[in-house]
Chain A
């Protein structure tokens, strides 16, 4: 049972344009959401998070949007840079349980 889904295995975006990565979840108990970025042969690196009491969180070029009614979140990267090429994982956790449930990841490729 995949509680966190990333339906796009890969995405290619031109340098300078906006990258939008999507994530859906099914467990209504999830109330904290995170995005991780992973380069080859490295562990995942935390990027940005959002609590369910918010619908948007912004950090520099990265913005995460949360739509609780649709159980959907998205990560916007603007402008996209070559160094953003990586695999991006969406993760979620529930109140009282720090266990992270991860999606299957989206491989983002920024085209120079």
Chain B
């Protein structure tokens, strides 16, 4: 079974530039998450999708961050414009279905450095 795929693995941008990350979840997984992990902290949920609908985006900084999940499969997370404090690892995860207490599977993450 293929895992969660993310790209790129690494990205360095200057502040005020824009950046986009891509995620392909495990086939058949209806729920998709984007987490932000700042160095020395645990992952923090940014947004959760159920198929292509948003379930929770309460911690997404909507003035600069946006995310979409087309056709309930792949997802992109965009930051525009980036700030220095956005430097972090962005993790995508997926799980089988809503309402079932099961684990989320994570991709390798995209390490973003904003300079």
The answer, among B42, B48, B105, B108, for a CB contact under 8 Å with A98, is B48
B42 contacts A34, C-beta separation under 8 Å? no
Interface of B is mostly: loop
Query: For the complex, what is the distance from the CA of A98 to the CA of B4, rounded to whole Å?
Result: 18
The answer, among A43, A46, A51, A104, for a CB contact under 8 Å with B103, is A46
A77 at the interface (CB under 8 A from B): no
A25 at the interface (CB under 8 A from B): no
A103 contacts B109, C-beta separation under 8 Å? no
A46 contacts B104, C-beta separation under 8 Å? yes
The answer, among B42, B91, B106, for a CB contact under 8 Å with A104, is B42
A73 at the interface (CB under 8 A from B): no
Which residues of chain B from 6 to 52 have any CB-CB distance to chain A below 8 Å in the complex?
31, 33, 40-45, 48
The contact size tier of chain A is: 20 to 34
Chain B neighbourhood of A70, CB < 8 A = none
Query: For the complex, what is the distance from the CA of A41 to the CA of B9, rounded to whole Å?
Result: 9
Which residues of chain A from 44 to 78 have any CB-CB distance to chain B below 8 Å in the complex?
44-46, 49, 51
B44 contacts A102, C-beta separation under 8 Å? yes
A99 contacts B56, C-beta separation under 8 Å? yes
The answer, among A34, A42, A104, for a CB contact under 8 Å with B41, is A104
B45 contacts A51, C-beta separation under 8 Å? no
Chain A neighbourhood of B43, CB < 8 A = 44, 89, 100, 102
| A43 and B91 in contact, given A32-B101, A51-B101, A99-B56 (Cβ under 8 angstroms) | yes
B103 contacts A34, C-beta separation under 8 Å? yes
Chain A neighbourhood of B40, CB < 8 A = 104
What are 23 A-to-B residue pairs whose CB atoms are below 8 Å? A4-B42, A32-B101, A36-B106, A42-B108, A43-B106, A43-B108, A43-B109, A44-B43, A44-B106, A46-B103, A49-B101, A51-B101, A89-B42, A91-B42, A98-B95, A98-B98, A98-B104, A99-B33, A99-B45, A99-B56, A100-B43, A102-B44, A104-B41
Residues of B within 8 A of A (CB): 4, 31, 33, 40-45, 48, 56, 91, 93, 95, 98-99, 101, 103-109
